[in-house]
Amino acid sequence: MSWSKEIGESEWGSMWKYGMWLSTVKGISLAKKRKMNPKLLYHNIEEMNLYTEYGLSDKQILSLKESKKTWEMERQMEVLRKKNIAFVPFFTEEYPEKLLKIPSSPYGLYVKGKLPNKKKRSVAIIGARMCSNYGKGMASLFAKELAVAGVEIVSGMAHGIDSIAQKSALDARGMTFAVLGCSVDICYPRENFSLYMEILEKGGGILSEYPPSTPPLAKNFPARNRIISGLSDAVLVMEAKEKSGSLITADMALEQGRDVYALPGDVTSALSRGCNQLLRQGAGVLISPGETLLDLGIINTGKKQEKNENKIMLESAENMVYSCLGLHPKSLEELSDEISMNIPELLDILIALEIKGCICEIGKNYYARVESTIEI
């Protein structure tokens, strides 16, 4: 990136648009692209000796020249303006520092909303799309507690663990960022459009390395996983089968020098086999959000003091129901049988406990604890 030192301050304002063009050129490695001054190249491509200057092959030179012929600079910029998308190439100050330090970092990011805060800790929470109630509950619990402590949550906005974690972070008034396997102007999956909009409305961001109108192709998702882990200080795997995208992300995280944690699960459950295998290979054990915060170097003493000073008092019936709940979700029917209470009465109590912030509904009619400072 030595060429960047030669650029005057007045040129930086337009440099990103030339970087956007160069990022789309096929057949040239990221390492080679990083050595190129995109503006100089764009305006002098016919005069430059690209063999000696950058070590390009005939095929690569042809690719560059053909790309310039078909690239409509003003039209591309207008597309970004209309869709409220920013392009952030690697040579700008806004580009995330964490990504600069990983192998095969993207040349640039397309962004709707904001980028992660460089001064804050961040974790990726990932896992199975078809997840159990246990996985849902743990994803929600960890996301909320970490978000309350100021940790930013990164994920892929997929069905299941990803979207549950991101929604839970928003519910806790935290910040979350979604990295997509398509362009940022496309919500994928479509069913998560409300989450997509809420992330933007509450100050988070939608990120991708793919230009506008890029569809969600299968080949894009393994590549986007390196960005999810690259933006994070640690990767938390909540549930995963033996062969899954979550394990690909975990492998990438290890290659990037990130800490990987896994949630231990039932050894008979296919959804926990991937996590249990990660634990066998030496991944950190997800015991509690508090332990994870300590591992991240965050001591959330202020929150503890506040909780201790404001312990929640429960009525006897509420106490009985609350005592039957744990971090593993239970169904309405299970609770009704366990405490011999009719369902309408039980629902009233569950609603009261949820309003007090003691429990949450994980899936339809499944409940789990979220509060540990209850006066029994």
Domains of the chain, first to last = 122-304 (3.40.50.450), 311-375 (1.10.10.10)
Tens digits of residue pLDDT in 22-32: 999 999 999 99
Does the CA dihedral 35-206-128-325 come out positive or negative? positive
pTM of whole model > 0.75? yes
* Residue 373: pLDDT band with limits 50, 70, 90: very low
User: In whole angstroms, what is the distance from residue 47 CA to residue 201 CA?
Assistant: 47
Report the length, in residues, of the chain: 376
* Residue 122: pLDDT band with limits 50, 70, 90: very high
- Mean pLDDT score, 258-265: 94
Which pairing describes strands 122-126 and 86-89: parallel, antiparallel, or unpaired? unpaired
User: In whole angstroms, what is the distance from residue 170 CA to residue 166 CA?
Assistant: 6
**How many Cβ atoms are within 10 Å of 158's Cβ, its own excluded?**
22
Amino acid at 43: H
Query: Which one has a higher pLDDT value, 350 or 113?
Result: 113
